[in-house]
Amino acid sequence: MKKQFFFLNGLPRAGNTLLSVLLNQNPKIRVTTNSLLPDIVCLLDNLKNTTLFKNFPLHKNLDNVIKNSFDNFYSNWDCDYVIDRGPWGTIPNMNILKKIFNKDIRIIILRRPFLEVLASYVKAVKPDDIDSYVDNLFNNKSGVLRANAFIFNNMNNQKNIKFHIVEYNNLVNDTKNTIDKIYNFLDIPKFQHNFNTLNQYNIDGNFYNDSIFGDDIDFHTIRTNKIEKENYHYKEVLSQSIIDKYKDIDKELYNIK
């Protein structure tokens, strides 16, 4: 059976790992880590701007490589459905998806209040200068927050692309119903998930290596005995100046009127 591809997008620290661990309990589903594929397909597509390509533009040949990149990248995964996580909601990436899949593209969007996202980062990293760290985290053009920001502004009037929003609070407080709605959105058979006993994220024995970010940084370890939101408020973590600076950014990020 040829694999069917879906996509997961949203800010980091918004429940990506928890959602992936839950869905990966189903042996027919594999939710990826932050994927290399957006970079791979963009790099391939950008070859069309090179002198070598323009000199003899073999569009169909290069498009064949791009279209087959998904199947080839995950050819060793024994599953029916791959949910590829990355900044697929950006306009350039959505345009590439349209070229590859033509129609019925489905993207799950994770949404969490931005100040909670910032506070979660700060708790994980414990930077010496919190304000500078937060400002750099969002304003750095190559940073993960910037790469995934403003996705919601791109959701309107997208032909052949369907979006499903998963609120972080619903994921942790109404987990079963939230997972059921994802199955309905993807239109795939449901699975009996275990919401009381979880495993750390792994694919074929490969685990996250957060030590590359620093000895004491842990972005991806989850509770394995229960699903529960950490009991703290962002005001306990962030300075008032940061709160004032970013308190209204959800309106921009999530296209809230």
* pLDDT tens-digit readout, 165-209: 999 999 999 999 999 999 999 999 999 999 999 999 999 899 999
Tell me what the mean pLDDT of segment 216-234 comes to.
91
Tell me what the mean pLDDT of segment 109-126 comes to.
92
Nearest to 246 by CA among 91, 130, 151: 130
User: Residue 78: is it exposed, middle or buried by C-beta count within 10 angstroms (0-12/13-18/19+)?
Assistant: exposed
Residue 1's pLDDT band (cuts 50, 70, 90): low
The residue whose two tokens read 């070859």 is 47
Number of Cβ within a 10 Å radius of residue 32: 20
At 60, list the tokens: 């169909």
Which of 19-28, 65-74, 89-98 is predicted with the least confidence, judged by mean pLDDT? Answer: 89-98
Helix (H, G, I), strand (E, B) or coil at 35: coil
User: Could you give the count of Cα atoms lying within 13 Å of 59 in the half-sphere of its Cβ?
Assistant: 1
Residue 231's pLDDT band (cuts 50, 70, 90): confident
Distance CA(257)–CA(252), nearest Å, equals 9
Distance CA(86)–CA(152), nearest Å, equals 14
Instruction: Give 256's DSSP letter.
Output: -
Amino acid 99: pLDDT? 86
Tell me: pLDDT of 216 over 80: yes
Distance CA(193)–CA(25), nearest Å, equals 7
Amino acid 130: pLDDT? 94
User: Residue 205: is it exposed, middle or buried by C-beta count within 10 angstroms (0-12/13-18/19+)?
Assistant: exposed
Nearest to 185 by CA among 155, 159, 163, 157: 163
Residue 91's pLDDT band (cuts 50, 70, 90): confident
Percent of the chain with pLDDT over 90: 69
* Bigger pLDDT: 59 vs 255: 59
Give phi and psi for 59, each to the nearest 5. Answer: -60, -50
Tell me: pLDDT of 74 over 90: yes
At 236, list the tokens: 């306990």
User: Residue 104: is it exposed, middle or buried by C-beta count within 10 angstroms (0-12/13-18/19+)?
Assistant: exposed
Distance CA(223)–CA(226), nearest Å, equals 6
Tell me: pLDDT of 257 over 60: no
Amino acid 39: pLDDT? 92
Number of Cβ within a 10 Å radius of residue 127: 15
Tell me what the mean pLDDT of segment 219-224 comes to.
93
Q: Bridge-partner residues for 105, per DSSP? A: 161
Nearest to 252 by CA among 113, 94, 133: 113
Q: Which domains does the chain have, with CATH numbers?
A: 4-113+149-195+222-228 (3.40.50.300)
Alpha helix (H) residue ranges in the chain: 16-23, 37-46, 51-55, 59-73, 91-101, 114-125, 130-139, 144-148, 168-173, 175-186, 240-246, 249-253
